[in-house]
């Protein structure tokens, strides 16, 4: 392994600009003559718009234009779309209500877009917004998931607010398993609603160049090419060849920046209307109101065991809140990204899952770090832990006796797990966590009047999404390959154009490590280019922990082609057949001789083209590749959380966190560890602190950092990490992906630890000090009564 090659903890090459304040985020983009957009948002969760009077607002200082949904409709600008078709049990398509970028006749959640004011300054736009008089006809609203199907219709197309009723698995086989069960564990589970909260709020700068007729949009996107595709093909801003989308430095995404939103649509459209660049930057409350939220499931689960405590069946009924409109990929999250993971790491012969997706008068809900897989893992790992306790078994041993041990393993729910060693991760985690010492530590805590508990999470996820044909058969409107282009310059430096997008993941480092390793050239000679549709031809972007497994595999495939072409060039220079050329450590050598030429010289020869004719070989050294994976990847691992609770205050302190993950091959362990740390922090946030709360009228009560508890440094522990490795067999690099693991694994580990400490299962997320105090008092009183 070289100092900058695959497997080396190379310091990040992107850091210099970030630590010196030289990053270029969308809000840092300023254009000559730009105007500022401000969105007038609905104060009501559900209302008809009976009239909008903005005559007075138009006369306010600095105002250039005010537009409403009517203006978009007049320009034949289409609505926002949901790109994944789900069919109900009866085969009928999901009921997708229209989603105009600016409301047409009705608003459906607090924060819904009523009008846009464009002015010389943001302050002037805000002042003018206050002069707009909207006449609303307030309608009954509902924000609650469980009661959505009994509430007033959000969209006429879905009178009972049901988007679809979907199912997966063999109902008959599952019922039969339950009929012969020796023990059935039942659990009601709520997966709390979260707000993703990347630290950079969303932003957009729209421009229109009259001479060429080209639109340009700078936007905070995880997938600028998908944004261009949707804005062109569905919304109708401009054909793709007349629309450039740039996602420059992006300050975190976590899913919330996958989607195509109203604001960027309006900014780029309005730039042509007003004849000036139009800039919009969300403030934090707008982010809370209008970024797509995550999770929000209400489920009932039952687990069937035989007399030997082997799991024989699982049945699940889930209601998933999708909010007021179907966001870009929302429909896939509680279906194909959720239910197929219900087998967890366990050999479960029969599983049946039913999912009702519902509309409510809340912000749209879509993928948030993990997307469906945290919801599945929380359910599986909670019910497994409860079952072990009910059967008086050690939760680690109960898991081990039910682990899948043979690979490949076809689960009852679509996925074929290709490789793994779940027990190896468990064994290592038990050791790192000093599980043997738990009894003594519990006694020590008890002596100090504290409650100590240990919780496990033995998670698996499906990442690297995904084979295009497979997701197409499941309803996806797009293919999920990735593209790469490797451009070797005449002096041997290299530019790699990738369709993946980095918004914190460090691709400029890890992708360059792969190229440096493969071509045997210094990492400084490699540049990674991403995030601009004028530079990178096409790409599917970054989410679902796919950049390593899919994005880097595309680069690897392009590098194969570069090597093959370079060997031909070397063959002409060294007067040998290209089949006799070996390439190693950046040098091409004629087998069995000392005739050699380095990579940079081959690059030069490829471009000067003196040693071969055009009939023999094309000049130049540039290759592209599209890589479509053959399977999902299946990262898995074991996280163990140990908490100490103060029953007098309800404060839960995480005393130890142990994570052992199998991500397959690791390119840069420093970056992988950082991804795990951040994922765990978000998972702990969900378990202990975070929750989006709407009141009964649909007002969002948690719309700032003063109301929504983001994890802060003093809420979190240090993490002890370990790794096991089974290479992923479905991509050339053996990578499984690491971006979401922590957020998927952590919540059940925390809640299992808290319930272990309390001695009962009755605690919901977020387990705030108040909730834990109540539960702890109950536990203390119960103990006293015994």
Partner 1 sequence: MPMIHMTVNGKAVKGHAEPRTLLVEFIRDTLRLTGTHVGCDTSQCGACVVHVDGHAIKSCTTLAVACEGAHVTTIEGLAHGTDLHPMQEAFREHHGLQCGYCTPGMIMSAVDMVNRKGHELSEHTIREELEGNICRCTGYHNIVKAVAAGAKAMQGMAKAAE
Residues that bind partner 1 (CB under 8 A): 11-12, 14-25, 27-28, 30, 123, 197-201, 249-252, 254, 281, 283-285, 503-506, 670-671, 673-674, 677-682, 704-706, 710-714, 716, 718-719, 742
What are the angstrom distances between the C-alpha of 38 and each of 70, 120, 145, 204, 558? 17, 11, 31, 12, 44
Helix (H) or strand (E) run with residue 289 in it: helix 284-290
Phi, psi of 247 (to 5 degrees): -110, 100
* Tokens representing residue 647 in the block: 């029953």
What minimum distance in Å lies between the beta carbon of 10 and partner 1?
A: 10
Order of strands across the sheet with 622-627?
526-529, 494-498, 482-488, 622-627
The pairing of strands 35-41 and 113-119 is antiparallel
Smallest distance, partner 1 to C-beta of residue 503, A:
6
Total Cβ atoms within 10 A of residue 404: 20
How near is the Cβ of 651 to partner 1 at its closest, in Å?
14
248 or 544: whose CB is closer to partner 1? 248
Q: Least distance (Å) from partner 1 to the CB of residue 196?
A: 8
Nearer to partner 1, 278 or 559 (CB): 278
| Helices and strands in the chain: count of H runs, count of E runs | 19, 28
**Minimum Å distance from CB 181 to partner 1?**
40
CB of 197 to partner 1, least distance (A): 6
- The CA–CA distances, whole Å, from 372 to 117, 334, 377, 463 equal 37, 5, 9, 11
Rounded to whole angstroms, the Cα distance separating 586 from 396 reads: 48
| CB of residue 22 to partner 1, shortest distance in Å | 7
Buried b (16+ CB within 10 A) or exposed e, 305-331: beeebebbbbbbebbbbbbbbbbbbbb
Given the complex with partner 1, which of 259 and 352 has the nearer CB atom?
Answer: 259
**Cβ proximity to partner 1, 34 vs 468, nearer residue:** 34
CA dist 342 → 87, 328, 740, 771, 778 (Å): 20, 24, 17, 28, 32
Residue closer to partner 1 (CB basis): 210 or 714 = 714
Tell me whether residue 12 or residue 317 sits nearer to partner 1 (CB atom).
12
Q: How far is the CB of 687 from partner 1 (least distance, A)?
A: 14
Residue 46 vs 295, nearer CB to partner 1: 295
- Least CB distance to partner 1 at residue 654 (A): 12
User: How many residues comprise the chain?
Assistant: 786
What is the closest distance, in whole angstroms, from the C-beta atom of residue 661 to partner 1 in the complex? 14
Closest listed residue to residue 374, CA positions, set 773, 658, 749, 108: 749
CB of 746 to partner 1, least distance (A): 10
Report d(CA 548, CA 464) in Å as an integer: 8
Give the contacts of 59 (CB within 8 A, at least 6 positions apart).
Answer: none
Could you give the CA distance from residue 607 to residue 415 in angstroms, rounded to a whole number?
Answer: 47
For residues 549 and 463, the answer to whether their CB atoms sit within 8 Å is yes
**Residue placing its CB nearer to partner 1 in the complex, 75 or 707:** 707
Nearest residue (CB) to partner 1, 649 versus 704: 704
**Torsions phi, psi of 757, nearest 5?**
-65, -40
Write the DSSP assignment of 432-482 as a string of letters: HTTGGGHHHHHHHHHHTT-EEEEEEEEEE--BS---HHHHHHTTBSS---E
CB nearer to partner 1: pick between 325 and 719: 719
Alpha helices in 616-740 (DSSP H): 669-684
User: Closer to partner 1 at the Cβ: 222 or 362?
Assistant: 222
Q: Which is nearer to partner 1, 37 or 143 (CB)?
A: 37
3-state SS, residue 653:
strand
Smallest distance, Å, CB 598 to partner 1? 30
Q: Is residue 547 packed enough to be buried (19+ CB in 10 Å), middle (13-18) or exposed (0-12)? A: buried
């Amino acid at each position: 392994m070289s100092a900058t090659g695959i497997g080396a903890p190379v310091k990040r090459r992107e850091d210099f600009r970030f630590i010196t304040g030289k990053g270029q985020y969308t809000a840092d983009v300023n254009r000559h003559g730009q105007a500022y957009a401000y969105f007038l948002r609905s104060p009501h969760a559900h209302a008809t718009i009976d009239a909008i009077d903005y005559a007075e607002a138009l006369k306010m200082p600095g105002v250039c234009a005010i537009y409403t949904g009517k203006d978009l409709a007049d320009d034949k600008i289409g609505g926002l779309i949901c790109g994944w078709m789900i069919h109900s049990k009866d085969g009928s398509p999901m009921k997708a209500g229209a989603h105009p970028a600016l409301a047409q006749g009705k608003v459906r959640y607090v924060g819904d877009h009523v009008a846009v004011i464009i002015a010389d300054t943001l302050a002037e736009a805000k002042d003018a917004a206050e002069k707009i008089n909207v006449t609303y006809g307030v309608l009954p609203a509902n924000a609650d998931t469980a009661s959505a199907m009994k509430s007033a219709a959000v969209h006429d197309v879905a009178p009972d607010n049901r988007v679809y009723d979907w199912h997966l698995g063999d109902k008959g086989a599952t019922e039969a398993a339950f009929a012969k069960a020796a023990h059935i564990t039942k659990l009601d589970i709520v997966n709390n609603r979260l707000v993703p909260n990347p630290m950079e709020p969303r932003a957009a700068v729209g421009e229109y160049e009259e001479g060429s007729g080209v639109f340009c949009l700078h936007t905070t996107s995880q997938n600028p090419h998908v944004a261009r595709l949707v804005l062109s093909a569905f919304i109708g801003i401009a054909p793709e060849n007349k629309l450039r989308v740039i996602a420059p430095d992006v300050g975190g995404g976590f899913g919330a920046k996958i989607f195509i939103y109203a604001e960027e649509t309006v900014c780029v459209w309005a730039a042509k209307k007003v004849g000036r660049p139009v800039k919009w930057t969300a403030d934090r409350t707008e982010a809370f109101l209008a970024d797509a939220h995550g999770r929000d499931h209400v489920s009932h689960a039952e687990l069937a065991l035989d007399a030997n405590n082997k799991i024989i069946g699982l049945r699940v009924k889930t209601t998933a809140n999708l909010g007021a409109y179907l966001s870009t990929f929302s429909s896939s999250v509680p279906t194909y990204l959720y239910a197929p993971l219900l087998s967890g790491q366990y050999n479960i012969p029969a599983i049946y899952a039913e999912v009702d997706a519902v509309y409510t008068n809340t912000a749209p809900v879509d993928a948030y770090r993990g997307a469906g897989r945290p919801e599945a893992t929380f359910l599986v790992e909670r019910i497994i832990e409860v079952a072990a306790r009910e059967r008086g078994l050690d939760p680690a041993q109960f898991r081990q006796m039910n682990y899948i041990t043979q690979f490949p393993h076809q689960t009852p729910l679509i996925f074929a797990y290709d490789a793994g060693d779940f027990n190896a991760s468990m064994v290592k985690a038990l050791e790192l966590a000093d599980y043997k010492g738990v009894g003594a530590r519990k006694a020590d805590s008890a002596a100090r009047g504290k409650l100590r508990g240990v919780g496990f999470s033995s998670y698996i996820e499906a990442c690297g999404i995904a084979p295009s044909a497979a997701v197409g058969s499941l309803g996806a409107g797009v293919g999920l390959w990735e593209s790469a282009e490797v451009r070797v310059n005449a002096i041997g430096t290299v530019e790699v154009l990738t369709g993946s997008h980095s918004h914190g993941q460090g691709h400029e480092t890890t992708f360059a490590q792969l190229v440096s390793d493969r071509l045997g050239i210094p990492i400084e000679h490699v540049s990674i280019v991403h995030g601009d549709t004028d530079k990178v031809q096409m790409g599917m972007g970054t989410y679902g922990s796919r950049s390593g497994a899919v994005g880097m595999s595309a680069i690897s495939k392009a590098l194969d082609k570069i090597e093959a072409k370079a060997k031909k060039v070397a063959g002409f220079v060294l007067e040998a057949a290209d089949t006799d050329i070996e390439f190693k450590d950046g040098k091409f050598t004629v087998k069995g001789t000392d005739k050699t030429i380095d990579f940079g010289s081959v690059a030069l020869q490829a471009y000067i083209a003196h040693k071969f004719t055009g009939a023999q070989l094309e000049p130049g050294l540039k290759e592209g590749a599209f890589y479509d994976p053959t399977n999902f990847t299946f990262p898995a691992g074991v996280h163990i959380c140990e908490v100490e609770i103060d029953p007098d205050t309800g404060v839960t302190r995480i005393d130890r966190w142990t994570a052992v993950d199998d991500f397959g091959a690791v390119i840069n362990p420093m970056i992988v560890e950082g991804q795990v740390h951040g994922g765990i922090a978000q998972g702990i946030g969900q378990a202990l602190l975070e929750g989006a709360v709407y009141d009964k009228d649909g007002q969002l009560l948690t719309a700032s950092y003063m109301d929504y508890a983001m994890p802060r440094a003093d809420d979190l522990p240090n993490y002890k990490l370990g790794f096991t490795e089974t290479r992923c067999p479905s991509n050339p690099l053996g990578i499984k992906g690491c971006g979401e693991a922590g957020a998927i694994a952590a919540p059940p580990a925390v809640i299992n630890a808290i319930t272990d400490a309390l001695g009962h299962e009755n605690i919901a997320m977020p387990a705030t000090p108040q909730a834990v105090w109540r539960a702890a008092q109950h536990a203390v009183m119960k103990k006293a009564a015994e």
